[in-house]
Structure 1
Amino acid sequence: MKEHQVKLKILKELSQGGFHSGEELGQALGISRAAVSKHIQGIQQWGVDIFRIQGKGYQLAKPLQLLDESVLKQTLSAPLELIPIIDSTNQYLMDQLPELQSGSVCVSEYQAKGRGRRGRQWVSPFGANLYLSMYWRLDAGMAAAMGLSLVVGVAIVEALESLGIDGVKLKWPNDLYYDDKKLAGILVEMSGQAGGAAHLVIGMGMNLAMSDTVEGIDQPWTSLSHATSKTIDRNQLVIAFIQAWQNALLDYEMMGLTGFVERWNRHDNFVGRQVKLLMGHRDVEGTLRGIDAQGAVLIETDQGVQAFIGGEISLRKV
């Protein structure tokens, strides 16, 4: 973390807006102009767009609101760590499991090794998105954790609606969509032993205002800024999501998926639409009919409505 302190201080200065000369930044941080230039290059490698004009200095290409740990902790009761630069928020919590209190949260500005479902890379530029993970102890055990990504997805959409952001939809089993493009992904990882509690780490990466030039994404994607004309307050989003997750997980402990099926189906991006389910060497095409009480996706084919769950299943629109 120490090796990033200077870069983070430069970003804090730049986030105030306007131009900042290399000399001004160097004096504020006690380093040379050449060192400032080197740190700027490192910041750009995090995916932050900074430009320089001779005689004026450096400026962010677009406004950047940094997460504020003090603001988050003032509102939230959950134990929370803001680690601006991290390999993976999920992995950080997985490594800390024996010491964590249920409900503990890790938030980051940049993930060097962000990952999605099935080990895929999750592109994680600095400050453009949200990277959030929560640890939850589920005393009912690992078998009871089936469908947890569905519960979290519902909580996210409803939290956005409470902030006046409508139109975000769900894609089974762990994605959020807007305008038929991927907006966010949920990754639930767990550990535990038979007969014991399940230790769950629930992670989410959501695009907020990601540059259109970002590379390494293998499917159509969008950002939350396209879903609303309002200024997106990243700190308030984190607060809303954490509170929504906590409430949804407590509800899930009490009643399982029963209370979430209708809520999911109401927001399902593909209900009533033709889809293809990819299951290894087998494909199933039909009309999507939502999910059932076990969290299985329902596909209507010529053979009737069939339920599919778990495994290497991938949903695609036809």
Structure 2
Amino acid sequence: MKQASKIIRQHILSLLADGQFHSGELIAQQVNLSRTAVAGHISQLADWGLDVFKVKGKGYRLNQGFALLSAEHIKKHLRRPGLSMIQVEPVLPSTNAEMKLRIAKARHDLADGDVILAEVQTDGKGRHGRKWTAPVGGSLTMSMYWSFPDGYQSMAGLSLLVGVAICEALRKFNIEDAQLKWPNDIYLNGRKLAGVLIEVEGQIGATAHSVIGIGLNVNVPDTQYDVGQPHSDLTGYLGETPDRNRLAAAVIESLREMLPEFTQQGFGKFVPYWEALDLFADKKIVLQMGDKRFSGIDRGVDQSGALLVETEDGITRFHGGEVSLRGI
């Protein structure tokens, strides 16, 4: 998308975010365009998931207003706001894709903990290339950069560590009962609340440059949105919509606290934390790996983050890849 269009849509988004009516004429004056051109930009925003409706004589209004993400506001909730870059983009195809582009272009300019957030993700992805649906203003979509000097092998268990960090951040919002589904999903009330997507750039034997992608449902009512599986959101659980800037800061802070120790010592220390949050602990499960199915009892994880499944033949370890997991 051209920079000019990006700026115009960001301006329109900031105007509509208050949930009040704004006339097409007023918006046109603000962005110095014709009302027809404004209508085109709003139509594009609607295509991206913005729930805009128009009333003759009143103008445009969002079905529900929301507080925009703001790097400045996020930093206010961080103990060390200058430690790394916090950047908010109005529209991106994917925060992970954007971070990977920056790794390719300017690896030396990135610092561990740098974060990109987006109000609108037009092509967000989950594991196995599944589409991540994120309504505008209703989710937290972000990617953090972190480097691993000892290479790809030192990242074992990273997605599990990120899940633990997210659950720790949620405690600051009085959410004590979030759980983890191996290897990278966060559940609340037995339904998916958030997902983690780890992607890696770099050569074997050299520093691994990781992109930690997080998508978290803040206000995604299951009566209005079908994301392909049963899901939960924070608004439904709390009875009110939490401040997304404060939420983003809590997740960033939690990752900043845990990642340095994980980088140096691995996942071992965090195994008991993950197992205490395991959604299927000591339950019968089925894993689908390609055309093969395995069933057994979930017995936690090892220091590499592999899932331990008790079968008739004893304990079998399962690593990542094309593995889906569901309780029986």
* Band the TM-score falls in, shorter-chain normalisation: over 0.9
* Per-residue deviation, 1:64: 1.3
Paired positions, count: 317
Q: Where in structure 2 are there 5+ consecutive unaligned residues?
A: none
Q: 1:109 aligns to what SS in structure 2? A: strand
1:83 match: 89
Give the TM-score, by structure 1 length. Answer: 0.93
- Summarize the Cα distance change of 1:193–1:5 in structure 2 as closer, same or farther, 3 Å threshold: closer
Give the TM-score normalised by the residue count of structure 2: 0.90
Q: Deviations over 1:226-284 (max 9, x none)?
A: 22124310111111111111111112123311211111111111112221111122211
Cα offset, 1:118, TM superposition: 2.1
Match of 2:198 in 1: 188
Over 3 Å counting, the alpha-carbon distance change for 1:220 and 1:231 in structure 2 is closer
Aligned ranges for residues 106-117 of structure 1 at < 5 Å?
106-117=116-127
CA contact (8 A) 1:186 1:203 kept: yes
CA shift, 1:194, in A, is: 3.4
**2:230 aligned residue:** 220
Does the 8 Å CA contact 1:167/1:227 hold for their aligned counterparts? no
Aligned to 2:162: 152
Tell me the secondary structure at the aligned position of residue 7 of structure 2.
helix
How many angstroms does 1:214 deviate by?
3.5
Structure 1 residue runs of 5 or longer lacking an equivalent are none
Instruction: Identify the match of residue 233 of structure 1 among 219, 230, 243.
Output: 243
* Structure 1 residue 81, shift from structure 2 partner: 1.9
Contact 1:166 1:227 in 2 (8 A): no
Tell me, in whole angstroms, the C-alpha distance in 2 between the residues paired with 1:13 and 1:93: 28
Q: Secondary structure at the match of 2:232?
A: coil
| Contact kept in structure 1, 2:157 and 2:303, CA below 8 Å | no
- Verify the 8 A CA contact 2:180 2:279 in the aligned structure 1: yes
Structure 1 residue 35 displacement after superposition: 2.8
Residue 245 of structure 1 pairs with residue 271 of structure 2: no
Trace 1:91-110 onto structure 2 (pairs within 5 A). 91-97=97-103, 98=107, 99-110=109-120
C-alpha displacement at 1:94, in angstroms? 1.2
Structure 1 equivalent of residue 277 of structure 2 = 267
Establish whether residue 198 from structure 1 lines up as the match of residue 197 from structure 2: no
Name the residue aligned to 2:74: 72
Deviation track 1:6-65 (CA, whole Å, cap 9, x = no partner) reads: 222122112223222222322333333333322221211111112222222222111211
Residue 255 of structure 1 aligns with an amino acid whose one-letter code is Q
- For residue 325 of structure 2, give the secondary structure of its aligned residue in structure 1: strand
In the other structure, the counterpart of 2:268 is: 258
Partner of 1:136: 146
Matched residues, percent identical? 39
Distance in 2 of aligned mates of 1:8 and 1:160? 29
* 2-structure distance, mates of 1:100, 1:46: 29
